[in-house]
């Protein structure tokens, strides 16, 4: 029924022939965010990334002053050094999704919101990229090297949560907060088949709805229909935020290839011990990765991790409950700092 309603709605909008203006991916300027152009990694082969990391990461990745980093305003600078915190966005999304919690996090941390190559607003995926999580982790780790971050507090949502956990496996995390991370399935499982099917259906809908994002998101009703899987409290999301989410998914360069590769992606291997403090945060109304089906494997992979359930919250909790999400993150990072000082 949902697909029928959405399809009819989109067909109606198409028949109305309302004028729409295409927007370039870089057109989303968000207050308090500085997104500077970076050197392209697409000129290098994916197989060369690891070699470049060990030799000269700046050859293919941004210098620290050129990176896509969320900056505090000049009036808030001058305090003692704040511990670095890295934000990793979901699949088919972008770095700007962290805007609802940015100000709160920046009071305690130097915040770096990294782009995953191949996504909206990011560099293209490098030549030879095989669309595996392992190679995505390689690319993000190379960005950490280029930024001079040996370790950082890591926060990721969905795909970003999975990447954060794998970075912790490599010793790059002071702590990890994973918001409804992907990867909670076995190859060939019903859970994986469901995720792949959902992504494919979404891609088909984006083919129709993506060009109409600016029109669809003017209506609160249509925003709720379009984003019902991503957010639970859709009445709280603003028109420009909704447009960003739709356009980011529509303009994701690697969408189809990444979904295709997901069928053979190895599941996360169990940890022998916790690499650092790890907290999982899940919304009770997550429709993309419902907690009962997609959390049990993570409980086996990281048996000593903490778990926090946010009531009435969806897959993108920073939009549904920004204050709760920021608190869940800062509770972890502040306690790690206190333990280190003790």
Residues marked active site are found at 158, 286, 315
Rounded to the nearest 5 degrees, what angle is found at the Cα of 3, between the Cα atoms of 311 and 162?
45
Tokens (6 digits) for 196: 């792949």
3-state secondary structure of 261: helix
Residue 64 makes CB contacts below 8 A (sequence gap 6+) with 146, 147, 148
CA-CA distance, 150 to 85, in Å (whole number)? Answer: 12
What is the phi/psi pair of residue 56, to 5°? -145, 80
Rounded CA-CA distance 88/276 in Å is: 18
- Say if CB 104 and CB 330 are below 8 A apart: yes
Ramachandran category for residue 121: left, alpha or beta (phi over 0 → left; psi -120 to 50 → alpha): left
Q: How many residues does the chain have?
A: 342
Kindly calculate the radius of gyration of the chain based on its CA atoms and give it in whole angstroms.
19
Dig out the tokens for 284 from the structure.
């009770």
């Amino acid at each position: 029924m949902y697909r029928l309603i959405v399809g009819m709605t989109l067909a109606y909008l198409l028949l109305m022939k309302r004028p729409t203006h295409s927007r370039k991916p870089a057109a989303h300027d968000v207050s308090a965010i500085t997104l500077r152009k970076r050197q392209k990694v697409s000129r290098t082969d994916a197989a060369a990334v690891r070699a470049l990391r060990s030799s000269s990461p700046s050859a293919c990745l941004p210098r620290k002053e050129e990176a896509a980093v969320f900056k505090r305003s000049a009036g808030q600078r001058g305090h003692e050094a704040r511990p670095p915190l890295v934000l990793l966005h979901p699949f088919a999304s972008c770095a700007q999704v962290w805007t609802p919690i940015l100000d709160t996090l920046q009071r305690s941390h130097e915040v770096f919101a990294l782009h995953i190559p191949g996504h909206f607003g990011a560099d293209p995926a490098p030549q030879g990229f095989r669309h595996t999580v392992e190679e995505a982790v390689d690319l993000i780790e190379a960005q950490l090297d280029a930024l001079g971050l040996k370790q950082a507090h890591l926060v990721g949502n969905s795909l970003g949560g999975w990447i954060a956990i794998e970075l912790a496996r490599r010793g790059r995390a002071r702590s990890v907060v994973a918001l409804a991370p992907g990867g909670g399935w076995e190859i060939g499982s019903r859970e994986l088949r469901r995720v792949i099917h959902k992504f494919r259906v979404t891609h088909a809908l984006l083919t129709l709805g993506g060009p109409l994002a600016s029109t669809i998101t003017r209506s609160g009703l249509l925003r709720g229909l379009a984003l019902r899987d991503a957010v639970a409290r859709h009445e709280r999301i603003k028109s420009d935020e909704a447009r960003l989410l739709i356009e980011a998914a529509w303009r994701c360069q690697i969408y189809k290839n990444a979904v295709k590769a997901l069928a053979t992606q190895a599941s996360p291997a169990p940890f022998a011990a916790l690499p650092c403090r790890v907290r999982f945060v899940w919304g009770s109304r997550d429709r993309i990765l419902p907690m009962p089906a997609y959390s049990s494997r993570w409980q086996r992979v990281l048996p000593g991790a903490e778990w926090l359930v946010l009531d009435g919250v969806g897959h993108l909790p920073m939009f549904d409950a920004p204050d709760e999400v920021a608190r869940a993150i800062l509770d972890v990072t502040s306690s790690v700092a206190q333990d280190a000082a003790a």
